[in-house]
């Protein structure tokens, strides 16, 4: 069992056959962040959408939880259905966990698809979010879910309904878990970590994502990495522009014969 995570993670599976494909959400979301992707890709893949530890129906992590711990717990999910390869999607926090999954078992990851990932070696935004949650409590979660969307999308009725759905899953340990994961994200990976990522990688980034600053810094550190921009989307481009996200991801996988 993964360190600092007292029990298996909750996940849903769509698709009974095909190559496994795991989806790792941002903070403070949960597995429903990927509803458009699991519905789309389940025609050809076994899609596993995960509640990371501390979110949704998964157990609250213990003190000292790290991003590698979350990655190990995700591999435990994959191992339940297959001992073979698994395509990994990740957004924001989930992108970092996805990269650690690729680092931990590179021979089992034929492709990595990232989104909502920027370059901030000091991880100052994560520190500020941890401080804000400590001061403002769980009410901040609804604001942060909406803050992931581009300004012109924040009033969209569906996206506002999505934010309400996520926050309906709050429990007494949620705010502490969100703080813990923001603190874990402040532990920036060294350049050698990124340079050691072996699988082909694509970054699908919203053109209006504030975290895209210096995104090329990540691309030049990961050996086999490309970037595709998605118009009319912010940090959560997969849910703001799902048709384009799914198209670009499909083209990337087809190029790799996956």
**What does the alpha-carbon distance between residue 210 and residue 212 come to, in Å, rounded to a whole number?**
6
Query: Which whole number is the average pLDDT over 5-19?
Result: 96
**DSSP code string of 167-189:** HTT--TTHHHHHHHHHHHHTSPP
Domain boundaries, the chain: 10-255
Closest CA to 148 of 91, 204, 95: 91
Report the pLDDT value the prediction gives residue 197, as an integer from 0 to 100.
97
10-255 folds as Rossmann fold (3.40.50)
Model confidence pLDDT, tens digit, residues 62-114: 999 999 999 999 999 999 999 999 999 999 999 999 999 999 999 999 999 99
pTM over 0.85: yes
Model confidence pLDDT, tens digit, residues 181-240: 999 999 888 999 999 999 999 999 999 998 888 788 899 999 999 999 999 999 999 999
């Amino acid at each position: 069992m993964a360190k600092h995570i007292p029990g298996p993670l909750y996940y849903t599976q769509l698709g009974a056959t095909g190559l496994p494909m795991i989806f790792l959400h941002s903070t403070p979301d949960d597995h429903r962040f990927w509803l458009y992707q699991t519905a789309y890709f389940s025609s050809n893949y076994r899609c596993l959408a995960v509640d990371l530890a501390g979110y949704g129906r998964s157990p609250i992590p213990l003190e000292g939880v790290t991003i590698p711990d979350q990655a190990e717990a995700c591999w435990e999910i994959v191992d339940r259905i297959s001992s073979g390869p698994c395509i990994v999607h990740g957004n924001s926090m989930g992108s970092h966990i996805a990269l650690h999954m690729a680092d931990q078992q590179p021979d089992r990851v034929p492709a990595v698809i990232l989104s909502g990932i920027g370059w901030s070696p000091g991880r100052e935004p994560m520190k500020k979010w941890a401080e804000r949650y400590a001061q403002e409590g769980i009410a901040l979660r609804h604001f942060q879910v909406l803050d992931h969307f581009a300004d012109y999308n924040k009033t969209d009725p569906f996206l506002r309904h999505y934010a309400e759905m996520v926050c309906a899953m709050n429990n007494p340990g949620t705010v502490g878990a969100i703080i813990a994961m923001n603190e874990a994200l402040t532990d920036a990976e060294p350049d050698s970590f990124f340079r050691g990522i072996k699988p082909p990688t694509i970054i699908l980034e919203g053109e209006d994502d504030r975290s895209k600053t210096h995104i090329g810094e990540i691309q030049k550190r990961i050996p086999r990495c490309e970037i595709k921009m998605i118009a009319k989307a912010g940090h959560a481009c997969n849910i703001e522009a799902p048709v384009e996200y799914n198209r670009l991801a499909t083209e990337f996988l087809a190029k790799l014969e996956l």
